[in-house]
Structure 1
Amino acid sequence: MSTLNTATATPFTAAHGSATWRLVRAELTLSVRDKVGPLWGVGCPLVVLVILGGVPALREPVATGGGMTIFDLYVPVLILFNLAILALTALPATLAGYRENGVLRRMQTTPVGPARVLTAQLAANFATALVAMALFLAVAGLGFGVDLPQNLAGFAVAWLLAAAALLSVGLLVTALAPGRGPAAAIGTVLFFPMMFFAGLWVPVAYMPPVLQTISHYTPLGAGMRAFEEAYLGQFPSAVPLLTLAAYALGCAVAAVRWFRWQ
Protein backbone atom coordinates (compact mmCIF):
# COMPACT_ATOMS: atom_id res chain seq x y z
CA MET A 1 0.00 0.00 0.00
CA SER A 2 2.79 2.46 0.88
CA THR A 3 4.51 1.73 -2.45
CA LEU A 4 1.29 2.47 -4.32
CA ASN A 5 0.79 5.72 -2.40
CA THR A 6 4.35 6.86 -3.14
CA ALA A 7 4.02 6.04 -6.82
CA THR A 8 0.74 7.91 -7.02
CA ALA A 9 1.98 10.97 -5.11
CA THR A 10 5.01 11.59 -7.31
CA PRO A 11 3.17 12.25 -10.61
CA PHE A 12 0.59 14.31 -8.71
CA THR A 13 3.28 16.63 -7.33
CA ALA A 14 5.02 16.85 -10.67
CA ALA A 15 1.75 17.71 -12.39
CA HIS A 16 1.10 20.52 -9.94
CA GLY A 17 4.62 21.90 -10.40
CA SER A 18 4.37 21.73 -14.17
CA ALA A 19 0.98 23.49 -14.10
CA THR A 20 2.48 26.39 -12.16
CA TRP A 21 5.44 26.60 -14.54
CA ARG A 22 3.13 26.58 -17.57
CA LEU A 23 1.18 29.47 -16.08
CA VAL A 24 4.41 31.41 -15.44
CA ARG A 25 5.61 30.85 -19.01
CA ALA A 26 2.23 31.87 -20.41
CA GLU A 27 2.19 35.10 -18.37
CA LEU A 28 5.75 35.96 -19.41
CA THR A 29 4.82 35.44 -23.06
CA LEU A 30 1.63 37.50 -22.75
CA SER A 31 3.46 40.28 -20.91
CA VAL A 32 5.99 40.63 -23.73
CA ARG A 33 3.34 40.25 -26.45
CA ASP A 34 0.88 42.72 -24.93
CA LYS A 35 3.70 45.12 -23.97
CA VAL A 36 1.88 46.21 -20.79
CA GLY A 37 4.64 45.17 -18.38
CA PRO A 38 7.60 46.28 -20.55
CA LEU A 39 5.93 49.62 -21.35
CA TRP A 40 4.90 50.59 -17.84
CA GLY A 41 7.51 48.66 -15.88
CA VAL A 42 10.57 49.38 -18.03
CA GLY A 43 9.97 52.01 -20.70
CA CYS A 44 8.17 54.72 -18.72
CA PRO A 45 10.54 54.85 -15.69
CA LEU A 46 13.58 54.62 -17.99
CA VAL A 47 12.38 57.65 -19.96
CA VAL A 48 11.97 59.57 -16.68
CA LEU A 49 15.51 58.56 -15.68
CA VAL A 50 16.98 59.83 -18.97
CA ILE A 51 15.02 63.09 -18.82
CA LEU A 52 16.08 63.85 -15.26
CA GLY A 53 19.67 62.87 -16.05
CA GLY A 54 19.70 65.44 -18.84
CA VAL A 55 18.67 68.36 -16.58
CA PRO A 56 21.86 70.37 -15.85
CA ALA A 57 20.63 71.64 -12.48
CA LEU A 58 20.29 68.07 -11.23
CA ARG A 59 23.91 67.32 -12.14
CA GLU A 60 25.25 69.83 -9.60
CA PRO A 61 26.90 68.37 -6.47
CA VAL A 62 24.93 68.63 -3.23
CA ALA A 63 26.73 70.49 -0.45
CA THR A 64 26.04 67.77 2.12
CA GLY A 65 26.12 64.86 -0.32
CA GLY A 66 29.83 64.08 -0.25
CA GLY A 67 30.27 64.97 -3.91
CA MET A 68 27.03 63.30 -5.00
CA THR A 69 24.66 65.17 -7.31
CA ILE A 70 20.91 65.58 -6.89
CA PHE A 71 20.48 63.09 -9.72
CA ASP A 72 22.67 60.56 -7.88
CA LEU A 73 20.36 60.85 -4.88
CA TYR A 74 17.31 60.38 -7.08
CA VAL A 75 18.43 57.12 -8.72
CA PRO A 76 17.29 54.94 -5.76
CA VAL A 77 13.96 56.81 -5.76
CA LEU A 78 13.55 56.11 -9.47
CA ILE A 79 14.28 52.41 -8.95
CA LEU A 80 11.45 52.36 -6.41
CA PHE A 81 9.33 54.38 -8.84
CA ASN A 82 9.88 51.57 -11.34
CA LEU A 83 8.67 48.94 -8.85
CA ALA A 84 5.67 51.03 -7.82
CA ILE A 85 4.43 51.75 -11.32
CA LEU A 86 4.83 48.10 -12.28
CA ALA A 87 3.09 46.81 -9.15
CA LEU A 88 0.28 49.36 -8.99
CA THR A 89 -0.37 49.97 -12.69
CA ALA A 90 0.74 47.13 -14.97
CA LEU A 91 0.02 44.16 -12.71
CA PRO A 92 -3.54 45.18 -11.65
CA ALA A 93 -4.46 46.13 -15.23
CA THR A 94 -3.55 42.66 -16.47
CA LEU A 95 -5.23 40.42 -13.91
CA ALA A 96 -8.25 42.68 -13.36
CA GLY A 97 -8.67 42.61 -17.13
CA TYR A 98 -8.76 38.81 -16.96
CA ARG A 99 -11.52 39.05 -14.36
CA GLU A 100 -13.44 41.63 -16.37
CA ASN A 101 -13.26 39.54 -19.55
CA GLY A 102 -14.33 36.30 -17.85
CA VAL A 103 -10.94 34.58 -18.13
CA LEU A 104 -10.72 33.99 -14.39
CA ARG A 105 -14.28 32.65 -14.28
CA ARG A 106 -13.27 29.96 -16.76
CA MET A 107 -10.05 29.24 -14.83
CA GLN A 108 -12.11 28.74 -11.68
CA THR A 109 -13.38 25.44 -13.11
CA THR A 110 -9.81 24.08 -13.29
CA PRO A 111 -7.60 22.87 -10.39
CA VAL A 112 -5.28 25.89 -10.79
CA GLY A 113 -6.37 27.78 -7.66
CA PRO A 114 -5.71 31.40 -6.59
CA ALA A 115 -2.18 30.74 -5.32
CA ARG A 116 -0.95 29.53 -8.73
CA VAL A 117 -2.66 32.37 -10.60
CA LEU A 118 -1.06 34.95 -8.33
CA THR A 119 2.31 33.16 -8.36
CA ALA A 120 2.38 33.33 -12.16
CA GLN A 121 1.67 37.07 -12.07
CA LEU A 122 4.28 37.58 -9.38
CA ALA A 123 6.95 35.70 -11.35
CA ALA A 124 6.21 37.47 -14.65
CA ASN A 125 6.28 40.93 -13.09
CA PHE A 126 9.33 40.10 -10.99
CA ALA A 127 11.22 39.19 -14.18
CA THR A 128 10.20 42.52 -15.74
CA ALA A 129 11.28 44.39 -12.60
CA LEU A 130 14.66 42.62 -12.60
CA VAL A 131 15.34 43.61 -16.22
CA ALA A 132 14.27 47.18 -15.48
CA MET A 133 16.53 47.46 -12.43
CA ALA A 134 19.54 46.17 -14.40
CA LEU A 135 18.84 48.69 -17.18
CA PHE A 136 18.41 51.47 -14.64
CA LEU A 137 21.79 50.85 -13.04
CA ALA A 138 23.48 50.41 -16.43
CA VAL A 139 22.03 53.62 -17.92
CA ALA A 140 22.65 55.63 -14.75
CA GLY A 141 26.23 54.36 -14.53
CA LEU A 142 27.31 54.36 -18.18
CA GLY A 143 25.25 57.33 -19.30
CA PHE A 144 25.47 59.65 -16.30
CA GLY A 145 28.38 58.38 -14.20
CA VAL A 146 26.32 57.28 -11.20
CA ASP A 147 28.24 54.83 -9.02
CA LEU A 148 26.83 51.45 -8.08
CA PRO A 149 25.72 50.93 -4.45
CA GLN A 150 28.78 50.49 -2.25
CA ASN A 151 27.22 47.48 -0.55
CA LEU A 152 25.98 45.39 -3.47
CA ALA A 153 24.86 42.45 -1.31
CA GLY A 154 22.84 44.77 0.91
CA PHE A 155 21.31 46.47 -2.11
CA ALA A 156 20.37 43.10 -3.64
CA VAL A 157 18.60 42.01 -0.44
CA ALA A 158 16.85 45.38 -0.14
CA TRP A 159 15.73 45.28 -3.77
CA LEU A 160 14.43 41.71 -3.52
CA LEU A 161 12.36 42.55 -0.43
CA ALA A 162 11.15 45.85 -1.91
CA ALA A 163 10.10 44.07 -5.12
CA ALA A 164 8.33 41.36 -3.11
CA ALA A 165 6.56 43.94 -0.94
CA LEU A 166 5.41 46.18 -3.80
CA LEU A 167 4.32 43.31 -6.05
CA SER A 168 2.42 41.73 -3.14
CA VAL A 169 0.58 45.03 -2.60
CA GLY A 170 -0.23 44.98 -6.31
CA LEU A 171 -1.45 41.37 -6.04
CA LEU A 172 -3.77 42.35 -3.18
CA VAL A 173 -5.21 45.21 -5.24
CA THR A 174 -5.62 42.82 -8.17
CA ALA A 175 -7.23 40.11 -6.04
CA LEU A 176 -9.97 42.47 -4.85
CA ALA A 177 -10.66 44.81 -7.79
CA PRO A 178 -13.61 43.69 -9.97
CA GLY A 179 -12.22 45.19 -13.19
CA ARG A 180 -9.64 47.45 -14.81
CA GLY A 181 -11.32 50.70 -13.77
CA PRO A 182 -11.45 50.00 -10.02
CA ALA A 183 -7.95 48.45 -10.14
CA ALA A 184 -6.54 51.57 -11.81
CA ALA A 185 -8.32 53.82 -9.30
CA ILE A 186 -7.04 51.92 -6.26
CA GLY A 187 -3.54 51.73 -7.72
CA THR A 188 -3.48 55.48 -8.37
CA VAL A 189 -4.74 56.29 -4.87
CA LEU A 190 -1.93 54.20 -3.39
CA PHE A 191 0.78 55.26 -5.86
CA PHE A 192 1.06 58.97 -5.12
CA PRO A 193 1.19 58.80 -1.29
CA MET A 194 3.69 55.94 -1.51
CA MET A 195 5.92 57.91 -3.88
CA PHE A 196 5.68 60.95 -1.61
CA PHE A 197 6.92 58.93 1.36
CA ALA A 198 9.72 57.52 -0.81
CA GLY A 199 10.98 61.09 -1.32
CA LEU A 200 10.10 61.63 -4.99
CA TRP A 201 8.97 65.22 -4.46
CA VAL A 202 10.55 66.07 -1.09
CA PRO A 203 13.60 64.16 0.18
CA VAL A 204 12.74 62.20 3.31
CA ALA A 205 15.51 63.99 5.25
CA TYR A 206 13.71 67.32 4.72
CA MET A 207 10.31 66.06 5.92
CA PRO A 208 8.97 66.92 9.41
CA PRO A 209 9.80 64.26 12.03
CA VAL A 210 6.24 62.88 12.03
CA LEU A 211 6.26 62.35 8.26
CA GLN A 212 9.73 60.79 8.44
CA THR A 213 8.46 58.26 10.98
CA ILE A 214 5.44 57.43 8.80
CA SER A 215 7.73 57.13 5.78
CA HIS A 216 9.90 54.53 7.48
CA TYR A 217 6.92 52.20 7.86
CA THR A 218 5.50 52.49 4.35
CA PRO A 219 6.67 50.02 1.67
CA LEU A 220 8.49 52.62 -0.43
CA GLY A 221 9.77 54.57 2.57
CA ALA A 222 11.28 51.42 4.06
CA GLY A 223 12.69 50.51 0.64
CA MET A 224 14.24 53.94 0.24
CA ARG A 225 15.85 53.76 3.69
CA ALA A 226 17.32 50.33 2.89
CA PHE A 227 18.58 51.55 -0.51
CA GLU A 228 20.23 54.63 1.01
CA GLU A 229 22.07 52.53 3.58
CA ALA A 230 23.29 50.16 0.86
CA TYR A 231 24.46 53.08 -1.31
CA LEU A 232 26.43 54.45 1.66
CA GLY A 233 28.19 51.10 2.10
CA GLN A 234 26.19 49.66 4.99
CA PHE A 235 24.13 46.52 5.03
CA PRO A 236 20.52 47.70 5.49
CA SER A 237 19.37 47.71 9.09
CA ALA A 238 16.75 45.29 10.39
CA VAL A 239 13.79 47.68 10.67
CA PRO A 240 13.33 48.52 6.95
CA LEU A 241 14.03 44.92 5.90
CA LEU A 242 11.53 43.50 8.39
CA THR A 243 8.99 46.14 7.35
CA LEU A 244 9.33 45.12 3.71
CA ALA A 245 9.14 41.41 4.60
CA ALA A 246 5.97 42.02 6.63
CA TYR A 247 4.29 43.81 3.71
CA ALA A 248 5.35 41.05 1.31
CA LEU A 249 4.07 38.21 3.47
CA GLY A 250 0.94 39.92 4.77
CA CYS A 251 -0.29 41.21 1.40
CA ALA A 252 0.50 37.93 -0.39
CA VAL A 253 -1.45 35.86 2.17
CA ALA A 254 -4.35 38.34 2.06
CA ALA A 255 -4.38 38.27 -1.76
CA VAL A 256 -4.69 34.47 -1.81
CA ARG A 257 -7.29 34.50 0.98
CA TRP A 258 -9.58 37.13 -0.58
CA PHE A 259 -8.96 36.40 -4.25
CA ARG A 260 -12.04 36.98 -6.41
CA TRP A 261 -12.62 34.89 -9.52
CA GLN A 262 -15.34 37.26 -10.76
Structure 2
Amino acid sequence: MQRPKQQDIGPLEARIGHSFANAHLIGLALTHVSASNAARSETYQRLEFLGDRVLGLVVADMLYAAFPDAEEGELSRRLADLVRKESCAEVALEWGVATFVRLGESEKQTGAAKTAILGDICESIIGAVFLDGGFDAAKRVVTQAFEARMRSPRRPLRDPKTALQEWAQARGLAPPVYREQDRTGPDHAPEFTIAVVVTGYEPAEAKGFSKRRAEQSAAEIFIAREGIGGSENTGAA
Protein backbone atom coordinates (compact mmCIF):
# COMPACT_ATOMS: atom_id res chain seq x y z
CA MET A 1 0.00 0.00 0.00
CA GLN A 2 1.35 3.39 -0.97
CA ARG A 3 1.71 5.60 2.09
CA PRO A 4 1.64 9.40 2.13
CA LYS A 5 4.95 11.09 2.68
CA GLN A 6 5.26 12.78 6.04
CA GLN A 7 5.62 16.23 4.50
CA ASP A 8 2.52 15.63 2.40
CA ILE A 9 0.26 15.15 5.41
CA GLY A 10 1.58 18.10 7.40
CA PRO A 11 -1.32 20.44 6.50
CA LEU A 12 -3.82 17.68 7.28
CA GLU A 13 -2.19 16.98 10.63
CA ALA A 14 -2.37 20.69 11.47
CA ARG A 15 -6.09 20.80 10.77
CA ILE A 16 -6.73 17.60 12.72
CA GLY A 17 -4.63 18.85 15.61
CA HIS A 18 -2.32 15.84 15.89
CA SER A 19 1.11 15.04 14.47
CA PHE A 20 1.48 11.32 13.83
CA ALA A 21 4.51 9.49 15.16
CA ASN A 22 3.42 6.47 13.10
CA ALA A 23 2.62 7.66 9.56
CA HIS A 24 1.34 4.19 8.67
CA LEU A 25 -1.70 4.76 10.88
CA ILE A 26 -2.84 7.88 9.05
CA GLY A 27 -2.19 6.07 5.78
CA LEU A 28 -4.56 3.29 6.86
CA ALA A 29 -7.13 5.81 8.08
CA LEU A 30 -7.27 7.36 4.61
CA THR A 31 -7.48 4.13 2.57
CA HIS A 32 -10.94 3.05 1.34
CA VAL A 33 -11.70 -0.63 0.78
CA SER A 34 -12.05 0.05 -2.96
CA ALA A 35 -8.40 1.12 -3.23
CA SER A 36 -6.55 -1.02 -5.66
CA ASN A 37 -4.56 -3.92 -4.21
CA ALA A 38 -5.73 -3.00 -0.69
CA ALA A 39 -6.61 -5.96 1.50
CA ARG A 40 -9.37 -5.26 4.00
CA SER A 41 -6.82 -5.35 6.82
CA GLU A 42 -4.98 -2.54 5.02
CA THR A 43 -7.95 -0.16 4.85
CA TYR A 44 -9.67 2.14 7.30
CA GLN A 45 -12.37 -0.33 8.35
CA ARG A 46 -10.80 -1.51 11.61
CA LEU A 47 -9.77 2.02 12.56
CA GLU A 48 -13.30 3.22 11.82
CA PHE A 49 -14.67 0.62 14.25
CA LEU A 50 -12.27 1.80 16.95
CA GLY A 51 -12.73 5.50 16.24
CA ASP A 52 -16.51 5.21 16.43
CA ARG A 53 -16.21 3.92 20.02
CA VAL A 54 -13.63 6.51 21.03
CA LEU A 55 -15.75 9.30 19.54
CA GLY A 56 -18.84 8.11 21.40
CA LEU A 57 -17.00 7.95 24.72
CA VAL A 58 -15.41 11.39 24.38
CA VAL A 59 -18.61 13.07 23.25
CA ALA A 60 -20.60 11.38 26.05
CA ASP A 61 -18.06 12.71 28.55
CA MET A 62 -18.26 16.20 27.02
CA LEU A 63 -22.06 16.19 27.21
CA TYR A 64 -22.11 14.90 30.78
CA ALA A 65 -19.88 17.78 31.88
CA ALA A 66 -21.50 20.49 29.74
CA PHE A 67 -25.15 19.78 30.62
CA PRO A 68 -25.29 18.86 34.32
CA ASP A 69 -29.09 19.30 34.49
CA ALA A 70 -29.90 17.27 31.36
CA GLU A 71 -31.69 13.95 31.78
CA GLU A 72 -30.57 10.74 30.11
CA GLY A 73 -33.00 11.12 27.21
CA GLU A 74 -31.73 14.58 26.28
CA LEU A 75 -28.10 13.48 26.58
CA SER A 76 -28.82 10.50 24.33
CA ARG A 77 -30.43 12.72 21.69
CA ARG A 78 -27.53 15.16 21.80
CA LEU A 79 -25.06 12.29 21.50
CA ALA A 80 -26.89 10.77 18.53
CA ASP A 81 -26.90 14.12 16.73
CA LEU A 82 -23.20 14.74 17.28
CA VAL A 83 -21.90 11.30 16.27
CA ARG A 84 -24.20 10.67 13.31
CA LYS A 85 -22.50 10.03 9.99
CA GLU A 86 -23.46 13.42 8.56
CA SER A 87 -21.86 15.30 11.47
CA CYS A 88 -18.69 13.25 11.11
CA ALA A 89 -18.65 13.96 7.37
CA GLU A 90 -18.84 17.70 8.08
CA VAL A 91 -15.81 17.40 10.37
CA ALA A 92 -13.92 15.46 7.70
CA LEU A 93 -14.67 18.22 5.19
CA GLU A 94 -13.38 20.83 7.63
CA TRP A 95 -10.22 18.79 8.02
CA GLY A 96 -9.87 18.75 4.22
CA VAL A 97 -9.43 14.98 3.96
CA ALA A 98 -10.94 14.56 0.48
CA THR A 99 -7.69 15.16 -1.41
CA PHE A 100 -5.85 12.65 0.81
CA VAL A 101 -8.31 9.75 0.60
CA ARG A 102 -7.15 6.77 -1.47
CA LEU A 103 -9.93 5.20 -3.52
CA GLY A 104 -10.32 2.50 -6.14
CA GLU A 105 -11.25 3.34 -9.72
CA SER A 106 -14.95 2.73 -9.00
CA GLU A 107 -14.97 5.48 -6.37
CA LYS A 108 -12.46 8.02 -7.66
CA GLN A 109 -14.91 10.25 -9.54
CA THR A 110 -17.35 10.96 -6.73
CA GLY A 111 -16.46 8.70 -3.84
CA ALA A 112 -14.41 11.10 -1.73
CA ALA A 113 -17.34 13.51 -1.57
CA LYS A 114 -19.84 10.89 -0.36
CA THR A 115 -21.16 11.49 3.12
CA ALA A 116 -20.79 7.84 4.10
CA ILE A 117 -17.11 7.70 3.15
CA LEU A 118 -16.28 11.05 4.71
CA GLY A 119 -18.03 10.05 7.92
CA ASP A 120 -16.09 6.80 8.00
CA ILE A 121 -12.82 8.63 7.43
CA CYS A 122 -13.50 11.00 10.33
CA GLU A 123 -13.99 8.02 12.65
CA SER A 124 -10.97 6.16 11.28
CA ILE A 125 -8.75 9.21 11.85
CA ILE A 126 -9.95 9.42 15.45
CA GLY A 127 -9.10 5.73 15.85
CA ALA A 128 -5.68 6.34 14.36
CA VAL A 129 -5.03 9.25 16.72
CA PHE A 130 -6.07 7.06 19.67
CA LEU A 131 -3.57 4.35 18.69
CA ASP A 132 -0.84 6.85 17.89
CA GLY A 133 -1.15 9.18 20.86
CA GLY A 134 -3.49 7.57 23.38
CA PHE A 135 -6.83 8.62 24.79
CA ASP A 136 -5.77 12.15 25.77
CA ALA A 137 -4.66 12.90 22.22
CA ALA A 138 -7.91 11.55 20.80
CA LYS A 139 -9.90 13.55 23.33
CA ARG A 140 -8.14 16.77 22.28
CA VAL A 141 -8.89 16.10 18.61
CA VAL A 142 -12.55 15.26 19.23
CA THR A 143 -13.07 18.21 21.57
CA GLN A 144 -11.56 20.63 19.08
CA ALA A 145 -13.73 19.28 16.25
CA PHE A 146 -17.03 18.74 18.06
CA GLU A 147 -17.29 21.20 20.95
CA ALA A 148 -18.78 24.06 18.91
CA ARG A 149 -21.36 21.66 17.47
CA MET A 150 -22.20 20.48 20.96
CA ARG A 151 -22.81 24.05 22.13
CA SER A 152 -24.91 24.99 19.09
CA PRO A 153 -26.81 22.01 17.63
CA ARG A 154 -27.36 22.41 13.90
CA ARG A 155 -30.74 20.66 13.88
CA PRO A 156 -33.55 19.86 16.32
CA LEU A 157 -32.64 17.34 18.98
CA ARG A 158 -35.69 15.31 18.08
CA ASP A 159 -35.00 13.49 14.84
CA PRO A 160 -37.46 14.12 11.97
CA LYS A 161 -39.02 10.63 12.17
CA THR A 162 -39.81 11.06 15.85
CA ALA A 163 -41.16 14.58 15.31
CA LEU A 164 -43.38 13.40 12.45
CA GLN A 165 -44.69 10.42 14.39
CA GLU A 166 -45.56 12.62 17.38
CA TRP A 167 -47.29 15.11 15.08
CA ALA A 168 -49.38 12.36 13.46
CA GLN A 169 -50.23 10.82 16.81
CA ALA A 170 -51.36 14.18 18.20
CA ARG A 171 -53.86 14.43 15.32
CA GLY A 172 -55.21 10.91 15.68
CA LEU A 173 -53.53 9.70 12.48
CA ALA A 174 -51.96 6.31 11.91
CA PRO A 175 -48.16 6.22 12.33
CA PRO A 176 -46.20 7.23 9.22
CA VAL A 177 -45.23 4.35 6.94
CA TYR A 178 -41.84 4.25 5.18
CA ARG A 179 -41.69 2.44 1.84
CA GLU A 180 -38.60 1.62 -0.20
CA GLN A 181 -39.24 2.94 -3.70
CA ASP A 182 -35.89 2.20 -5.31
CA ARG A 183 -32.35 1.01 -4.66
CA THR A 184 -29.46 1.90 -6.93
CA GLY A 185 -25.67 1.80 -6.91
CA PRO A 186 -23.15 -0.96 -6.12
CA ASP A 187 -23.74 -3.45 -3.32
CA HIS A 188 -21.06 -1.89 -1.12
CA ALA A 189 -22.55 1.61 -1.45
CA PRO A 190 -26.27 1.41 -2.31
CA GLU A 191 -28.48 4.47 -2.50
CA PHE A 192 -32.07 4.12 -1.30
CA THR A 193 -35.18 6.05 -2.30
CA ILE A 194 -37.72 6.05 0.52
CA ALA A 195 -41.25 7.49 0.60
CA VAL A 196 -43.01 8.42 3.83
CA VAL A 197 -46.79 7.99 3.72
CA VAL A 198 -49.18 9.70 6.13
CA THR A 199 -52.91 9.13 5.75
CA GLY A 200 -54.56 12.04 3.97
CA TYR A 201 -51.32 13.61 2.75
CA GLU A 202 -49.15 13.37 -0.34
CA PRO A 203 -46.11 11.09 0.22
CA ALA A 204 -42.68 12.68 0.48
CA GLU A 205 -39.60 11.01 -1.04
CA ALA A 206 -35.90 11.28 -0.31
CA LYS A 207 -32.66 9.49 -1.10
CA GLY A 208 -29.86 8.38 1.19
CA PHE A 209 -26.90 6.02 1.38
CA SER A 210 -28.67 4.13 4.17
CA LYS A 211 -32.35 3.35 4.67
CA ARG A 212 -32.29 5.18 7.98
CA ARG A 213 -30.89 8.37 6.47
CA ALA A 214 -33.35 8.24 3.56
CA GLU A 215 -36.24 7.78 6.00
CA GLN A 216 -35.06 10.69 8.12
CA SER A 217 -34.70 12.88 5.03
CA ALA A 218 -38.17 11.91 3.77
CA ALA A 219 -39.65 12.81 7.15
CA GLU A 220 -37.72 16.10 7.09
CA ILE A 221 -39.06 16.94 3.64
CA PHE A 222 -42.62 16.12 4.73
CA ILE A 223 -42.25 18.31 7.83
CA ALA A 224 -40.92 21.25 5.80
CA ARG A 225 -43.58 20.89 3.09
CA GLU A 226 -46.48 20.77 5.54
CA GLY A 227 -45.13 23.58 7.70
CA ILE A 228 -44.71 21.40 10.76
CA GLY A 229 -42.33 22.97 13.24
CA GLY A 230 -42.18 26.31 15.00
CA SER A 231 -42.98 25.63 18.63
CA GLU A 232 -42.92 21.90 17.93
CA ASN A 233 -39.32 22.10 16.69
CA THR A 234 -37.98 21.51 20.16
CA GLY A 235 -34.60 20.84 21.57
CA ALA A 236 -32.38 23.39 19.89
CA ALA A 237 -30.02 24.89 22.41
Q: TM-score, normalised by structure 2?
A: 0.32
Q: Which has the higher contact order (CA 8 A, sep 6+)?
A: 1
